[in-house]
Structure 1
């Protein structure tokens, strides 16, 4: 079993993200299309109501350095979230990697998108080799003690989620392929739909009411609301026009009645009859 990490040494003695490589020669390179689209959807819909955008960091395929004793050891989660750490607001501050001993905060949730070549490592089924870095499962469960770990296999449409209970991960029951995280006031589940012009079954965040909207969906909803408001305004205008026309008709009828009464009064006076003294 991997030995616990000793207390972290002063940060000034440790390498930072500027000292550590963001990629290594011989690695497989950039993720495939699915990984990119799925990570985008997770990031776009990750909107916890109890955290501001300045209090949460989401990252995909960003090297995660976790051991100050072995500073070149790292994992590259497909997607992860860190609470209490802001994302960069200036381009020059964008992270090259996430260095735990520099940031001082471990990830809160990690998502791995399963592929045939990574299944054994992602699910903790691969034994650690002698004198080699620990597996992903060991790092997430024993070293970083990440509270939530999610694995999604798109080939089998199989979603698995684990929560750290004590010192071990325990599987979370997933009715309807979704589960709720009280800490975020959000849930994570499988959603059937189209995103970035690609239809499929996607991992997505939802809130107490519905799936969290993407920017495109929000824009569509705003357009629909604006169109509804325009239609309502048009209906109000039409109703006001109808009321005006009815009032105009009433005025014209009253004017005609008044003119008839005036002509009758003039006729009576011409006959020597005072119309104001008629019994």
Structure 2
């Protein structure tokens, strides 16, 4: 019988290094039968979008966003759905019917369509994301057609992690028109936000990330950043309190010193007065009238 130790060692043999073997850059990152399944970037990037999607002119209880969630859109084909990498909605309850987490987003029940959809380009879905594929008869329509014609999503955004290119499309008279970037951002005044490419570190990974900002371009902090800022602010307050204590202590010391100096001066004045009185008494004993002395 093989001992447990020997059994474990059988699976801990060093992996041979072969430069001809494919790397993660050579192998597909999704399932050809269901392209677009998430890799790490497709997990973290939508999470950053979700954490910073805070429209300032909306009650947070009426703001919803989702990552890789089935979006059902056709009441006549109830099994047809799209699965955006991320989408946000304003004007709908955060919880389904105010009480439960959503299993999917069913538009004919919600009565509110997404406000903005973000697709992250993948090799297997790029053509459809960019609207370069045509819908086939008797099959679900393409993403572009669903977002533009059926759901009429006001803003459709595409971002490539490979080129860091940001593209935005705004619905105008029922058709998507390419948006111009303003200071590198897509402005969405209806929700008081803009979307831009930010260089920073999220979940320990420094790179260019897509994230929400104010219309003026100020970053909307996510909870981790808020916690760091709060900690720094607390530390700053502690330092200011310590500085104030030191200043108070310094003031007390200066007051004490001033008091001691005043006492010393009073003592010296009293001593000078005593000497003067003693001298005057001595002169009177000698018969000298001080009033006649110049």
Q: In structure 2, what is the equivalent of residue 155 of structure 1?
A: 162
Partner of 1:226: 234
Partner residue of 1:253?
A: 261
Which runs of structure 2 are paired with 1:21-60 in the superposition (5 Å)?
Answer: 27=34, 31-60=38-67
- Give the structure 2 partner of residue 22 of structure 1: none
User: Kindly tell me: are residues 134 and 246 of structure 1, through their superposed partners in 2, closer, same or farther at Cα, counting changes over 3 Å?
Assistant: same
- Structure 2 distance, partners of 1:271, 1:125, is 115
| Alignment correspondent of 2:185 | 178
Mapped pair 1:131 → 2:138: yes
In the TM superposition, residue 260 of structure 1 has moved relative to its aligned partner by: 2.4
Structure of greater Rg = 2
- What's the TM-score, normalizing by structure 2? 0.79
Flag structure 2 segments of 5+ consecutive residues without an equivalent.
1-32, 282-289
Cα shift at 1:240? 1.8
| 8 Å Cα contact 2:117-2:153 kept in structure 1 | yes
- Select 1:145's aligned residue among 145, 152, 156: 152
In 1, Cα distance between equivalents of 2:76 and 2:97: 31
Q: 1:122 aligns with which of 110, 119, 129?
A: 129
In structure 2, C-alpha distance between the alignment counterparts of 1:28 and 1:192, rounded to whole Å: 28
Alpha-carbon distance between aligned partners in 2 of 1:182 and 1:264, rounded to the nearest angstrom? 82
Are 1:96 and 2:103 an aligned pair? yes
Partner of 2:18: none
Matched ranges for 1:190-209 at <5 A: 190-207=197-214, 208=216
Greater relative CO (CA pairs within 8 A, separation 6+): 1
1:88-146 Cα distance to aligned partner (Å, 9 max, x none): 29997111100001111111110001111101111111111121011000000000100
Q: Distance in 1 between matches of 2:272 and 2:258?
A: 21
- When residues 169 and 214 of structure 1 are mapped into structure 2, their CA distance, relative to the original with a 3 A threshold, is same
Shift of 1:86: 1.9
Measure, in 2, the Cα distance between the counterparts of 1:146 and 1:77.
12
- What RMSD, in angstroms, separates the aligned Cα atoms of the two structures? 2.3
- Tell me, yes or no, if structure 1 residue 238 matches structure 2 residue 246: yes
1:82 to 76, 82, 89: 89
Q: Distance in 1 between matches of 2:61 and 2:99?
A: 17
* Separation (CA, whole Å) in 2 of partners of 1:146 and 1:94: 23
